[in-house]
Amino acid sequence: MWLYSALLLVVLVVGAPYWLVRMLTSGRYRAGLAGRLGWIPAELQAAVRGREVVWVHAVSVGEVMSATRLVAELREALPGCVVAVSTTTVTGQRLAKQKLVGSPVFYLPLDFGVVVRRYLRVLKPRMVVLMESELWPRMLVECGRAGVPVAVVNARVSDRSFPRYMRLRRLWRPLLAQISLFLAQSDETAERLVRIGAPAERVRVTGNLKYDNRTGMVSPLVELFQQKLEARAVVVVCGSTLEGEDRMLLEAWPEALAVEPKAVMVLAPRHPERFDGVAGLVAASGYGVVRASEFRERPVGVRCGSVFLLDTIGDLATMYSLAVVAFVGGSLVPMGGHNPLEAAQFAVPVVMGQSYENFREMVEMMRAAKAICLVETEQLGGTIAGMLVDREAARAVGERGRAVFEAQSGATGRTVAALMEMLGERGAR
């Protein structure tokens, strides 16, 4: 641990000029800095004072969405307990405050012993719950020393990260031994966890929390968008796009408009720092563009053939409910894809590129059920156009997607039951 801490300190010191520049030029690098360094926010201290606490860590937007129902069910299972939620990113912080009302939300502290110990002394958590694959060595060690059980829920080991874990498994084995319980998304992830050093008796399969992440029509922005749509407009939602994909979609869009002139594209870039650049790209492509951030302040009509730029956080999942077709990004570029279930739960037919390693098991399950369309870049426009022409066939794809979603539900209940069992066993000791 001393070597790890020394290396972490060296990285921070050497990188200090870079981070100082970024902090001066970007608010997201200044956000929560004091808390990350160990000055615990007063509102967090007030929220947990004199109460039992469960600490849930969700890195960013995807993990926060997965944790939403889990947090609610933990509150029910532990009445009177505060479920405090930390995130790493600014976007995750915003979404957590929006979705997890009633839970104090704060930034994960830097992984130094003195900083982590300060948080553990203030929170005194009954347990720490880590979402998916967020493992910080010093945090694991300090929780072990403090007698705080740690559970990794919705655990996954991606195709990309598994070889790296295997190369360093001798280093990971003692750290994974600090974790009381691993609740894996699948049998494959459970097997991989054991291979990289997790104690086999602590690894269980409870399923994927994302299958329980049901989204209702709760977004005022989306409701306003629906009201302002031109009559008989057809919505195509392109969500979680990454650098390069926006241009591909705009180049493919004429094919869709040729068969359905009343189509409206909702374009939702994954990262907020790209919003302005994508707005400029849309304008340069010759399409009318309405920015959601301006639209909610001054609503205007959304015309057929235009592009609605969803430059807000937390509205995409609900926006999918209005779609006739959905494209899920991060998949036409080699970045592993994003979650297709956000659209599939509404029986919306999903189109993705060939890069889906981050959600491979989920996509392969949908693919086997003929519940998703995987395309190369040059097929994108034709595939979307084909779905707009043959609505019945597209609707059937969407219904099969929803059936996959429904068949896999229940992971949250199994996860909470396992966590309560873990707490009971530790209490008995």
* Domain boundaries of the chain, sorted by first residue: 27-207+410-428, 220-407
pLDDT digits (tens), the chain, 429 positions: 666 666 666 666 565 565 555 555 555 556 788 898 899 999 999 999 999 999 999 999 889 999 999 999 999 999 999 999 999 998 899 999 999 999 999 999 998 899 999 999 999 999 999 999 888 999 999 999 999 999 999 999 988 889 999 998 998 899 999 999 999 999 999 999 999 999 999 999 999 998 988 765 568 999 999 999 999 999 999 999 999 999 999 999 999 999 999 999 999 999 999 999 999 999 999 999 999 999 999 999 999 999 999 999 889 999 999 999 999 999 999 999 999 999 999 999 999 999 999 899 899 999 999 999 999 999 999 999 999 999 999 999 999 999 999 998 899 999 999 999 999 866 554
Instruction: Say which of 52, 63, 243, 392 is annotated catalytic.
Output: 63
27-207+410-428 with 220-407: one CATH topology?
yes
Task: Say yes or no: domain 220-407 is CATH 3.40.50.2000.
Answer: yes
Residue with tokens 């005022």: 220
Q: Of the candidates 317, 316, 318, 238, which has an alpha carbon nearest to the alpha carbon of residue 278? A: 238
- List C-alpha distances in Å: 94 to 86, 99, 122, 229, 380: 11, 9, 23, 27, 32
310: CB partners within 8 A, 6+ apart: 239, 266, 267, 268, 269, 292, 316, 319
63 is a catalytic site residue: yes
What is this structure's pTM?
0.82
Residue with tokens 């594209």: 265
CA 115 to chain centre: 26
Q: CA 63, CA 132: separation in Å to the nearest integer?
A: 7
Q: Which CATH architecture describes the domain 27-207+410-428?
A: 3-Layer(aba) Sandwich (3.40)
